[in-house]
Chains A and B, each alone.
Chain A
């Protein structure tokens, strides 16, 4: 973009406060669309919009291409429900993974969090959320049936329940334990819960400290 236009864009961004729909057509549309993203308020949306307007066309094209690919190319793995570009995700395709261990998580981003630890070499199952009756989410809205089918057919010997350690996640874990305990030879475990690394004992809340006590281990 020529310097004159960029300067004009900067001026426009500063001249009109957020919330004022003074921009015409496509600029206002861009601000509105950006404002619908999570964590982006009207002011941030305006700033991003004017940053894009003043960016090089090649940068914009790259962004547009990626967005296009996201709508067309990304789907969910038919086995585990993780985001994938093919029918099966990278982890489910990997033959070096231990098929006997299955880690059940709520969201695809939880897979990433566990992968970062480099501790777990098994496979995953993404439920797509947690049981939350207040939001109308029951067992039928989650990928519970697919989980049962996987456990019945695959050679799974251990299911690790790694739902969030909050009320909804704990209730989901309770439900899963109840659902899975009749499978012969299946070991169902839950992620340990307790004190975070780098914290002080005196500041721990009683629930976390209580769970740390009940889950203590011999050394």
Chain B
């Protein structure tokens, strides 16, 4: 008998398969990225279909199959989806997090514990709704890139390593560059923007939370450009991420949403 195994993981995305099945892409704690078949989950009578929705944090049992493993049992660890889909801005941010994690964990079955923990942390922060989802997304992207070995240089020069502070940022060079190394096309972000990048990279939420909206927008632009340059492919969800003025915690986002909705 084939060896059943069990692991906890986050559902990154789902694809339809046949009449009522789905292929579930999970980022797991021990086995890295896994693609497995969940049979009959699209039927309303499915006993675990609801648990295998995107952004679900689950404990699942797998049965090794010929090409793809089959999910036989699932229990929910955290139902992040409930908090995430209750706000469209959070949903788009969570989608970008899932797609980035899927892209960064290129090799299936290769353990990626740090990335897994990052994804769980980011989705938990989004579901809680206590922080600006745009900041949560940027913090995740920066740290996920650091995990992949592409952390932007935010203190020393990306080319020669000269200690900073520097003012020019070059996506191609991989972060801040000194005056001597500065290539054509480098931009000069405001000092606050650099400060925000450093804060997000190191999890300094007090500093990040105190920044102005314009600063956050500029930092998001730099992070997105840096990510897409290194991934060498456009992320589908990133242009659809809604970056609106954030007005506080759960339930108080109404005013800003109404202002920009439609």
Q: Identify the A interface with B (CB < 8 A).
A: 39, 131-136, 138, 148, 166-168, 170-171, 174-175, 178-179, 181-182, 196, 199, 203, 205-208, 210
Contact = CB atoms under 8 A, between A and B. Distances in A.
Contact of B95 (A133, A148, A207, A210): A133
B88 A207 contact: no
Contact of A174 (B47, B76, B85, B96): B85
Contact of B240 (A133, A148, A210): A133
Contacts of B237: 133-134, 136
B226 interface: no
B228 to A, nearest CB: 14
A133 B50 CA distance: 20
A136 B92 CA distance: 11
Contacts of A167: 53-55, 81, 84-85, 91
Interface string B93-129: 0011011000000000000000000000000000000
Given A167-B53, A178-B258, A205-B76, A133 B241 contact: yes
Contact of B79 (A175, A199, A206): A206
Contacts of B239: 138
A138 B240 contact: yes
B53 A166 contact: yes
B19 interface: yes
A134 B99 contact: yes
Q: Is the interface of A mostly helix, strand, loop or mixed?
A: helix
Given A39-B18, A178-B257, A205 B92 contact: no
Nearest to A132: B95
B82 A207 contact: yes
A207 B236 contact: no
A166 B79 CA distance: 13
B76 to A, nearest CB: 6
Given A171-B85, A207-B79, A208-B50, 15 more contacts: A133-B236, A133-B240, A134-B13, A134-B99, A148-B262, A167-B54, A167-B85, A174-B85, A178-B258, A181-B258, A203-B47, A205-B76, A207-B81, A207-B82, A210-B82
Nearest to B241: A133
A134 B95 contact: yes
B236 A134 contact: yes
Given A138-B240, A196-B44, A203-B47, A178 B81 contact: no
Contact of A196 (B45, B54, B84, B262): B45
A208 B18 CA distance: 24
5 contacts: A39-B18, A133-B99, A133-B237, A134-B98, A136-B240
A162 to B, nearest CB: 14
Contacts of A136: 236-237, 240
